[in-house]
Structures are given as C-alpha cells and as structure tokens.
Amino acid sequence: MTGEAMTRAIGYDESGAGQPVLFIHGFPHDRSLWAAQLSGLAARARCLAPDLPGFGQSAPLAGAPSMDAYADALAAFLASTGIARATVCGLSMGGYVAFALWRRHPALVRALVFASTRAAPDTDEARAKRRDLAELVRHEGSGAMAERQLPGMLGKSTRRRHPELAAAMWRMLAAAPLDGVLQALEAMAARPDSTPTLSTITVPTLFIAGAQDVIVPAAEMRAMHEQVAGSAFEVIAGAGHACNFERPAAFNHLLGEFLVGLDGN
C-alpha cells in the first residue's frame, strides 16, 4: 500500500500486519530501498517505509535541517499512523536519524536495528567532501552525484555479479531531489556524536554490517555493538553498504529472527 501521511506530506509504503517496524533509508535514497523488506517481512510484521523529508514523495523540511528535525518528522508520521511503538531500522543516514529518535522519542522505540551506520560525527575531511558534493549536485544535478556515489554504495561482488542492482541503485540516487540532497548534506555534516548515546540504549538492538562496506567498515560497527549492552552483531558476506538491497534474503533472515525474539517480550 502507498499512502500520504496527514502530517507534512510524507510519502510511504506499508505492508503486513503485527508488530510495527519503521524502516529509515540512507542518503540519497528513498523508501524504495526497502522494497524487498516490505515484501519479504510482510508475513511477520507491519512494515512502514517512509521517504525522509525532501526525498521521494516527501516535502522537504520546513526549518533548519538536522537529524533532530528528521526524527521529529518521523515521530509525527508514526503518530499519524496510530503506531505507539515500533522497531526502528535505519541504514546509514537512517541510522543517524534512529539515534536522534532514540534520544528525543525513546517511548516510540521498541527495538533498534542499525545497518551500515556509524555513531561518530563527521570529520573535517568528511564535511569538506559534503560541501564538494553539494556543489556538484547544484551545478551538474543528481545524475552526477549518482556516478560519484555508486561505487561506495554497493559491494564489489554486487557490482560484478548484479549489474541490474547497480542500475536500480543508480536510478534511485539520480532521482534524488536537489532540495532534499542539500538539506541532508547539511544535516549530516552538523550531526552530533552519537557515541555517548550507545551506552544509553536499553532496548533490544541489532547491528548489521556488510562485509564489503567501504563507507562503514564492519569493524567500526562491531565496536559500536560492544558499547550496547546485550546487543547482537551480524555481518552479511558479499554485501557492501546497501546490504539490505544487495542481499535481501540474508538481511530479511537476520531481521526476521530478531523480530521473532521480540515477540512476547
């Protein structure tokens, strides 16, 4: 099902019934990143995949861009769907938003799944790269951004063996609206250090890394996992940064088992 939230124009897809799972895409994706999760996990959960403000069919943020602003928009979105508590699953930038949701709206968070993401803030070098990318998109458009971002987005096995996935990812990146891209780059560059947040997490938490991720190495995610009491850590072989998109069956298996573990708790 496709819907439009009653809050500030949030486009989203929904499938299934049961315990709610909120999927938060990365940069510069849209909700279609999670298509294989919405089809593969519908028998087990009520899956919701919104477009973050400024991406897909969602209106850009109204005020200054920040992870807090994205988190507040998603909290309003959940309220509009009548969901009081959800497992929050964020990939990369979606993970940055999940940290902000946990800090600002902990009562909404039943459990956390961090995929291909990091707790650390941007380095000066990373901020300079974001300024450079913003210039590129302003002058040459999202297609040029897609060319630059694609190699890091997918693992080498996927790029070699699945040209159709590389083409689909390219189309997603190239479709990203300028306003949304510029807001997200600003918000990511300014995001706080979430490392101190790790030890505050008291809900069941799963970390999923792609073994071939060159943006967030699996070792960095393992170090995050070690700071969250009782959390689990899994690595998907043959997958890069967009691990849920590259190896959906493996990702769905891990997430499905995690959700089974939550049932009845």
Residues near ligand MLT, by CB under 6 A: 26-27, 92-93, 188, 215, 241
φ, ψ (nearest 5 deg) of residue 155: -70, 165
In the complex, least distance from residue 67 CB atom to ligand MLT, rounded to whole angstroms: 11
The SS3 assignment for 197 reads helix
In the complex, least distance from residue 91 CB atom to ligand MLT, rounded to whole angstroms: 7
In the complex, least distance from residue 27 CB atom to ligand MLT, rounded to whole angstroms: 4
φ, ψ (nearest 5 deg) of residue 211: -60, -25
Q: Would you say 26 or 60 has its CB closer to ligand MLT?
A: 26
Q: Would you say 83 or 215 has its CB closer to ligand MLT?
A: 215
Cβ(33)–Cβ(242) under 8 Å? yes
Q: Would you say 204 or 210 has its CB closer to ligand MLT?
A: 210
φ, ψ (nearest 5 deg) of residue 4: -125, 120
Q: Would you say 46 or 241 has its CB closer to ligand MLT?
A: 241
Torsion of CA 196, 199, 203, 206, to 10 degrees: 80
Cβ(51)–Cβ(23) under 8 Å? no
Q: Would you say 45 or 98 has its CB closer to ligand MLT?
A: 98
Rounded to whole angstroms, what are the CA distances from 208 to 23, 175, 220, 224? Answer: 14, 26, 11, 11
In the complex, least distance from residue 92 CB atom to ligand MLT, rounded to whole angstroms: 3
DSSP state of 213: -
In 51-186, DSSP assigns E strands to 86-91, 109-115
Q: Would you say 5 or 93 has its CB closer to ligand MLT?
A: 93
In the complex, least distance from residue 173 CB atom to ligand MLT, rounded to whole angstroms: 10
In the complex, least distance from residue 177 CB atom to ligand MLT, rounded to whole angstroms: 16
| Tokens, residue 145 | 């951004």
DSSP state of 44: T
Q: Would you say 255 or 259 has its CB closer to ligand MLT?
A: 255
- Which class for 223: exposed (0-12), middle (13-18), buried (19 or more C-beta within 10 A)? middle
In the complex, least distance from residue 262 CB atom to ligand MLT, rounded to whole angstroms: 25
